[in-house]
Amino acid sequence: MKSIRFTKHAIEQCVERCATETEVRIAIERGQHEQVKKGREMCRFNFNYAQS
């Protein structure tokens, strides 16, 4: 697998979505991959969070 590099935009999106870079890396490594427009790939992964 290629190394994962975060652009400024990606880091801004993490902050906006309250996601950590670690969570994004996990989603990329373990998530379901789908082809999307212009030859790009989307990764989807659902995290289980404890509810109180």
Q: Indicate the domain borders of the chain.
A: 8-44
C-alpha to C-alpha distance for 43 and 52, rounded to whole angstroms? 28
pTM of the predicted protein model: 0.76
Residue 52 pLDDT: 60
pLDDT tens string 3-20? 999 999 999 999 999 999
Residues 28 and 38 sit within 8 Å (Cβ to Cβ) = no
